[in-house]
């Protein structure tokens, strides 16, 4: 569906010749070289505005408050204030976390000045009486120091410092890692969530260490393994990799990981799973670690975990939160951190689904002017409309909107622009540059304050947030800059470069990899004995348990989950009794200025506005956003980049859909053909069908009006039960499968089970006979009605 986009030499020449009267070398939305350079320069200017504000108003504390222009540091009076103290360790976090953004700017002088400031700031390295979160400190501080060291020591990089740099950043990273590593000395090998940088685990209350999430238990493996490669000391990689593998062993039989555990005993705290907060970086580092370290086992973890997510959590526009041991919906909301996932899908090669998932983030931005921390895709309980003044009606509207946004803040998180950046690099579709322009404009206007950038404390009321977290300079503005920077050295390097979860570029040169493989050492007896003890215990337990600390009973036969009953509103299509008088039409477009190039998303993605009507009861714009045009239809951009010959919308569906889950012991191995048809040899495995009810006069999910023709030819005779009475009347209901195990079926595609293999297996034959029928046309029957594209053949 997506095609590469590029301006020809002829188009570039035209853009130069068509400069406006003021001598500008581009017209807005032309996206020629000069326009992108202008946006790039604006991002860089914004970064230095905020960075200079931090240096003058916030340093040596961790952050600067953008509205009040005072430092923000940790709460020394309350060790239990984890919201503040987890990420603010009194170690000038903004200074360290933003070093690599300056490196990406190729600003050698500033880069050198800032790393020298790090040197003089930490003469005793990180000997600080600060209780911090291990994971956040790893990705922001250890990761920032390692990546900056790579830049300073790589002759191929513009900020290479040569003999002017003595490698102290790597030593600082190692010092911090040594202070964090004792968190792994637990009875399970899983890390505690927090540690004191000076006193280790002493004086930590039970509440501070009782629960850790799987992202934090597995994630540090990435930075710590790179540290091992660079220092030759294997302990960092070995200890954290054991924890990563141990975390994966806690998965359910569905290969779904619960969100959190007690690291002391492996007890599960939260059984639900998804892709957002508390679990996101586990998937990210499984794939990125597999790539950077050329690690087959990490790739297996990624492959199996992603397959499980697709099978159990995938909806059209996002991944839902599900129970890890059943795969059933557990929470009707998604959170902002999940917006990173499309970028990871791009890296994994699943570009088509990445487009869908990033579209949800776009619609949330259109609605709220940012991505709320948590948004409900199901409509919340309806409030009773008050009778009275206009003020009472206004308060009612606000309260109703708040019900759909249970966590209402947007702290300028980077995940949406991160995924947008990766999608643009993969497709070169100007659709994603246009998103970047909107975010850039927001930073120049709505988010910019006297001393930096503040997010939105409440997306419904518009209340601003007097905080600028370190990721704003480390990630958000970095990805925005790179979106517009075609010339950046990272885009032309031959290094196997990977962004960390904090957007720090990481790479390993072949000579470093070779030297580590030949000369790595493990000299620390404490951690060596720690690993030997756990591995011996694992071997003893292997014979007595399958995998994980808990199991799951097989689902009994067939489970039926009706989206129409509001269990999962995202995958149902709003039921309507009558066909709309007029099908929705995409906004009209004028003749493109440059008719030889179009945005594939604007021109050929016929579901561009489906989210808007499907979730119209929860995507309610606050007053501050009421008059803002959607990003994708901004005047100028849409007119120029939409192909009027193709830009049309799919007619909204008026049918109902539900899920069928068939759970049979064993593993499935379906084969998908080029036309979208899926062939399955056996019933073994877990099958999740999305099934649509077809009735005459309605519109199916493909936008087609349902006629009476398929009903007239339908055969409801069940050949499995020849003794049953067959009613020859024309059926009033048919079914069709629209998705299987998270994979959407194209129109007219079929799902075919192998008749011989199934009928020759007594258990599978019995299961099939109990749950389905089959008509003479080999279509399976559900409740005596044919599933018109599900065959036993």
From the list 415, 418, 659, 692, the catalytic residue is 415
Higher pLDDT, 431 or 544: 431
pLDDT tens digits for 217-228? Answer: 999 999 999 999
Rounded Cα distance, 226 and 241, in Å: 12
Average pLDDT over residues 684-700: 94
> Does 381 have pLDDT greater than 90?
no
The mean pLDDT value for 439-456 works out to 98
**Residue 459, Cβ density class (10 Å: 0-12 exposed, 13-18 middle, ≥19 buried):** buried
Provide the b/e sequence for 305-315 (b: ≥16 CB within 10 Å): bbebbbbbbbb
Q: Which residues of 497-510 are buried (b: 16+ CB within 10 A; e: fewer)?
A: bbbbbbbbbbbbee
Nearest CA to 618 out of 334, 355, 211 is that of: 334
State if pTM tops 0.85: yes
Whether 672 has a pLDDT exceeding 50, the answer reads: yes
Taking residues 82-110, what's their average pLDDT? Answer: 97
Q: Give 4-43 pLDDT, tens digit per residue.
A: 334 343 344 334 333 443 446 788 999 999 999 999 999 9
> How many other β-carbons are positioned within 10 Å of the β-carbon of residue 587?
17
Angle value at C-alpha 360, between 44 and 304, nearest 5 degrees: 100
Q: What is residue 544's predicted lDDT score, i.e. its pLDDT?
A: 61
Query: Which of 573-582, 673-682, 711-720 has the lowest average pLDDT?
Result: 573-582
Catalytic choice (255, 280, 316, 700): 280
Kindly tell me the burial class for residue 630, based on how many C-beta atoms sit within 10 Å of its own C-beta (0-12, 13-18, 19 or more).
Answer: middle
Nearest to 602 by CA among 636, 652, 646, 635: 646
Q: What pLDDT, on the 0 to 100 scale, is given for residue 385?
A: 55
Q: Is 136 a catalytic residue?
A: yes
195 has a pLDDT exceeding 50: yes
Angle, CA of 37, 42 and 48, to the nearest 5°: 125
- Sheet of 321-323, strand order: 272-273, 321-323, 329-331
Looking at residue 233, its pLDDT comes to 98
pLDDT of residue 740: 94
Q: Which of 136, 316, 475, 639 is catalytic?
A: 136
116 is catalytic: no
The mean predicted confidence, pLDDT, of the chain is 88
What is the bridge-based pairing of β-strands 785-792 and 751-753? parallel
126-140: average pLDDT: 97
What stretches of 466-621 adopt beta strand conformation (E)? Answer: 498-499, 505-506, 558-562
**Would residue 284 show up in a list of annotated catalytic residues for this protein?**
no
Could you tell me which residues come within 8 angstroms of residue 153 by beta carbon, excluding any fewer than 6 positions away?
160, 161, 165, 167
pLDDT at 389 > cutoff 70:
no
100-114, 345-359, 539-553, 581-595: range with lowest mean pLDDT: 581-595
Conformational region of residue 539, where left means phi above 0, alpha means psi within -120 to 50, and beta covers everything else? alpha
Known active-site residue 300: no
Angstrom distance (rounded) from CA 458 to CA 440:
20
pLDDT in tens, 460-479: 999 999 999 999 999 999 99
pLDDT at 634 over 70: yes
Say whether 501 counts as a known binding-site residue: yes
Q: What is the pLDDT of residue 723?
A: 73
Distances (CA, A) of 16 to 7, 10, 26: 13, 10, 7
Given 223, 373, 475, 632, which residue is catalytic?
373
* Whole-angstrom distance, CA of residue 24 vs CA of residue 133: 49
Q: Tell me the domain boundaries of the chain.
A: 657-792
């Amino acid at each position: 569906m997506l095609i590469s986009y590029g301006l020809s030499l002829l188009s570039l020449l035209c853009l130069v010749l068509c400069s406006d009267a003021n001598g500008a070398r581009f017209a807005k939305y032309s996206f020629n070289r000069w326009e992108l350079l202008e946006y790039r320069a604006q991002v860089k200017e914004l970064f230095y505005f905020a960075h200079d504000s931090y240096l003058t108003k916030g340093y040596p504390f961790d952050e600067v408050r953008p509205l009040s222009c005072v430092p923000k540091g940790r709460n020394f009076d309350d060790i239990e204030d984890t919201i503040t103290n987890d990420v603010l360790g009194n170690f000038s976090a903004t200074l360290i976390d933003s070093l690599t953004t300056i490196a990406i700017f190729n600003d050698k002088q500033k880069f050198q000045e800032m790393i020298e400031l790090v040197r003089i700031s930490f003469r005793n390295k990180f000997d600080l009486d600060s209780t911090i979160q291990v994971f956040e400190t790893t990705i922001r501080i250890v990761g920032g120091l390692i990546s900056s060291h790579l830049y300073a020591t790589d002759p191929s990089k513009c900020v290479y410092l040569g003999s002017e740099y003595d490698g102290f950043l790597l030593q600082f990273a190692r010092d911090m890692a040594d202070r964090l590593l004792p968190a792994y000395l637990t009875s399970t090998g899983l890390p505690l969530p927090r540690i004191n940088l000076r006193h280790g685990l002493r004086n930590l209350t039970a509440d501070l260490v009782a629960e850790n999430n799987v992202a934090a238990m597995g994630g540090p493996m990435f930075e710590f393994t790179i540290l091992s490669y660079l220092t030759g000391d294997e302990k960092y990689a070995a200890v954290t990799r054991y924890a990563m593998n141990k975390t994966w062993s806690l998965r359910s039989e569905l290969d779904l990981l619960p969100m959190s555990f007690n690291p002391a005993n492996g007890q599960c705290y939260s059984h639900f799973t998804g892709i957002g907060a508390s679990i996101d970086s586990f998937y990210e580092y499984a794939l990125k670690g597999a790539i950077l370290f050329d690690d087959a086992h990490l790739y297996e973890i990624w492959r199996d975990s992603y397959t499980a997510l697709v099978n159990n959590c995938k909806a059209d526009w996002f991944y839902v939160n599900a129970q890890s041991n059943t795969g059933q919906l557990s929470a009707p909301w998604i959170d902002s951190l999940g917006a990173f996932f499309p970028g990871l899908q791009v890296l994994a090669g699943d570009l088509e689904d990445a487009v869908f998932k990033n579209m949800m983030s776009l619609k949330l931005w259109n609605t709220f002017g940012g991505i709320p921390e948590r948004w409900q895709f199901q409509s919340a309980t309806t409030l009773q409309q008050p009778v009275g003044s206009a003020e009472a009606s206004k308060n009612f509207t606000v309260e109703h909107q708040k019900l759909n946004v249970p966590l209402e803040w947007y702290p300028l998180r980077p995940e949406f622009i991160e995924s947008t950046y990766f999608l643009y690099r993969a497709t070169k579709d100007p659709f994603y540059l246009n998103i970047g322009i909107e975010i850039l404009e927001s930073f120049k206007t709505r988010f910019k304050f006297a001393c930096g950038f503040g997010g939105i404390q409440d997306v419904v009321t518009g209340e601003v947030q007097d905080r600028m977290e370190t990721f704003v300079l480390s990630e958000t503005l970095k990805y925005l800059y790179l979106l517009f920077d075609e010339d950046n050295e990272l885009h032309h390097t031959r290094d196997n470069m990977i962004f960390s979860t904090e957007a720090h570029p990481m790479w390993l040169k072949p000579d470093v990899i070779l030297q580590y493989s030949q000369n790595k050492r493990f000299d620390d007896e404490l951690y060596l004995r720690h690993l030997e003890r756990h591995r011996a215990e694992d071997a003893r337990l292997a014979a007595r348990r399958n995998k994980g600390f808990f199991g799951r009973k097989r689902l009994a036969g067939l489970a039926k989950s009706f989206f129409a009953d509001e269990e999962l509103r995202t995958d149902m299509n709003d039921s309507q009794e009558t066909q709309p008088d007029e099908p929705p039409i995409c906004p009209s477009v004028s003749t493109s200025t440059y008719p030889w190039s179009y945005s594939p998303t604007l021109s050929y993605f016929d579901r561009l506005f489906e989210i808007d009507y499907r979730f119209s009861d929860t995507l309610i714009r606050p007053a501050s956003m009421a008059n803002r045009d959607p990003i994708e239809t901004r005047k100028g951009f849409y007119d120029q980049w939409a192909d009027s010959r193709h830009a049309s919308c799919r007619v909204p569906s008026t049918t109902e859909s539900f899920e069928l889950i068939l759970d049979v012991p064993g593993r499935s191995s379906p084969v998908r053909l080029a036309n979208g048809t899926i062939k399955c040899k056996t019933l073994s495995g877990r099958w999740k069908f999305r099934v649509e009810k077809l009735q005459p006069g309605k519109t199916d999910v493909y936008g087609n009006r349902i006629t009476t023709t398929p009903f007239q030819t339908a055969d409801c005779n069940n050949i499995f039960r020849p003794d049953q009475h067959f009613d020859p009347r024309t059926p009033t209901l048919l079914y069709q499968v629209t998705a299987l195990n998270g994979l959407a079926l194209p129109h007219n595609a079929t799902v075919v089970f192998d008749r011989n293999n199934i009928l020759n297996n007594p258990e599978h034959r019995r299961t099939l006979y109990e749950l389905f029928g089959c008509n003479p046309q080999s279509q399976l029957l559900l409740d005596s009605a044919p599933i018109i594209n599900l065959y036993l053949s």
